[in-house]
Amino acid sequence: MNKKYALNLLAAAVALAGFSATARADITLGASVQETGPVANTGRYYRDAYQFAVDKINAAGGIMVGGKKEKLVLKMVDNQSDINLSVRQYVQLLSQDKVNFLLGPFDSSFVIADSAVAEKYQVPMVQGGGASDQIYGRGFHYIFGTLPKASDYFSSTLSMMKELSPKPAKVALLYADDAFDSSVATGTAPKIKAEGFDLVQQQKYASNSSDFGSVIAQLKANGAQAVLVAGHETEVLNFIRQSKSLNYSPMMYSFTVGVPSADFRHALGKDAEAAFGMTPWLPAQKLKDQWFGDSAQFAQAYKSRFGYDPDYHAASAIADVEAYVHAIQAAGSLDPKKVRDALAKVNFESVYGPIRFAAAGQINLPQNVIQIQGGQIVPIYGTKMIGHAVYPMPAWNKR
């Protein structure tokens, strides 16, 4: 989504409501998330993690503001996976519900549009649902994000590939035509060449594509040994299933989404084996904060409450809420500009990792390369090899 379209959406939404900065007794965080619709399976991480963080912080006493303890209130609405609705809802959250600050939705395209609301009204939005470089390339001052840059997502994967034996020579890059995946491709293509690989196929496909038959035929013809795919989870599921049906088994493939999710692994069963993926977060005792203990304890408590395992989406959402706690306490005020300036200076440890925003508003976290082995996630590569990779990928009838 381009800037002009986002601003047009905003203008239409603003026409429906005026803005007021009336103060509230509590500190209200407003969010529009995908509770229903095509991406609700990922949207649930934000719905649940935002609430979990608010409940934990309130149970510990709330936030100290100017010598007084205040409780957090979460005002959350369902955007039904509709960008136009999401923009209208963020305007409403500020103008009618009079929330103090904003948490973000899932998906870079949504964040690009919705952050225009935050910028227009100069109210901070902290989000862990969008990683596209486009979000931070507009010179906005009120958007902050806890996902690493999309253009760097495959950097650690390419570094790992150089250490595999035999090293894959021919690489293909497939990507959906949305904001996040386009940013991934823009950053990855030159890195593939710079690392000495032969980029034999770089192909964009329409978001929500269900038929990859012609794409796989081209991969076979081009002799691609490593296939890097930036797309949505349903697309990745379709790609893997059709690769099996067409008996296409490259030396390796890696995906920006899906692999960290238990639902993804359950949906594919043995067909998920040996798939590489990435995540900026893995539960570990070294990652700690004052509310959840360490991230392994957080993961256990999250699953106990919500009935499913958290992944990096949930962990980043926790950090979004915690960023506000640190910023509000540092500012000693609920003034949006003072809190925005405090957000720009936060530097704290969380169960997600170290949180410190760069000048454009985005944090920098390395991606860990992971692989599905025996139905479980196995860390393979960080800044060096840390696990044994199943490579080359076994043929479909050998799993």
Tell whether 217 is covered by a domain.
yes
Residues 21 and 140 reside in one and the same domain: yes
Residues 169 and 306 reside in one and the same domain: no
Structure letter (DSSP) for residue 385 = B
What is the pLDDT confidence band of residue 1, given thresholds at 50, 70 and 90? Answer: low
- CATH number of the CATH domain containing 82: 3.40.50.2300
Residues 61 and 203 reside in one and the same domain: no
Residues 389 and 241 reside in one and the same domain: yes
Tell whether 360 is covered by a domain.
no
Residues 12 and 118 reside in one and the same domain: yes
Residue pair 156/366 in contact (Cβ under 8 Å)? The answer is yes
Residues 157 and 138 reside in one and the same domain: no
Tell whether 319 is covered by a domain.
yes
Residues 383 and 255 reside in one and the same domain: yes
Query: How far is it, in rounded angstroms, from Cα 214 to Cα 225?
Result: 17
Residues 252 and 334 reside in one and the same domain: no
**What pLDDT score does 208 carry?**
86
Cα atoms in the 13 Å half-sphere on the side-chain side of 28: 17
Residue pair 364/358 in contact (Cβ under 8 Å)? The answer is yes
Query: Stretch 8-22: mean pLDDT, rounded?
Result: 46
Cα atoms in the 13 Å half-sphere on the side-chain side of 7: 7
**What pLDDT score does 22 carry?**
38
Cα atoms in the 13 Å half-sphere on the side-chain side of 92: 14
Residue pair 126/362 in contact (Cβ under 8 Å)? The answer is no
Residue 98, classified by CB atoms within 10 Å of its CB into exposed (0-12), middle (13-18) or buried (19+), is middle
Joined together, the tokens standing for residue 13 give 């939404």
Tell whether 207 is covered by a domain.
yes
Residues 317 and 183 reside in one and the same domain: no
What is the pLDDT confidence band of residue 171, given thresholds at 50, 70 and 90? Answer: very high
Residue 19 has pLDDT above 50, yes or no: no
**Structural domain range at position 228:** 152-279+367-398
Query: Stretch 264-270: mean pLDDT, rounded?
Result: 95
**What pLDDT score does 2 carry?**
53
Parallel, antiparallel, or unpaired for β 101-103 and 125-127?
A: parallel
Q: What is the pTM of this model?
A: 0.90
**What is the C-alpha R_g of the chain?**
21
Residue 309 has pLDDT above 90, yes or no: yes
Residues 118 and 216 reside in one and the same domain: no
Tell whether 391 is covered by a domain.
yes
Residues 137 and 173 reside in one and the same domain: no
Residue pair 16/85 in contact (Cβ under 8 Å)? The answer is no
Tell whether 42 is covered by a domain.
yes
The closest of 123, 122, 120 to 31, measured between CA atoms, is: 123
Tell whether 315 is covered by a domain.
yes
Residue 393 has pLDDT above 70, yes or no: yes
Query: How far is it, in rounded angstroms, from Cα 26 to Cα 334?
Result: 10
Tell whether 81 is covered by a domain.
yes
| Those residues with Cβ within 8 angstroms of residue 221's Cβ, 6 or more apart along the chain or in another chain | none
- Out of 122-126, 207-211, 215-219, 375-379, pick the least confident: 207-211
Joined together, the tokens standing for residue 277 give 């993926």
Single-letter residue type at 102: L
Residue 344 has pLDDT above 90, yes or no: yes
Helices (H), the chain: 3-14, 40-59, 83-95, 108-121, 133-136, 155-161, 179-194, 213-222, 233-245, 262-268, 295-306, 312-331, 336-343
**What pLDDT score does 98 carry?**
96
Residues 224 and 291 reside in one and the same domain: no
Residue with tokens 């949305």: 178
Query: How far is it, in rounded angstroms, from Cα 63 to Cα 73?
Result: 11
Residue 12 has pLDDT above 60, yes or no: no
Joined together, the tokens standing for residue 377 give 């996630």
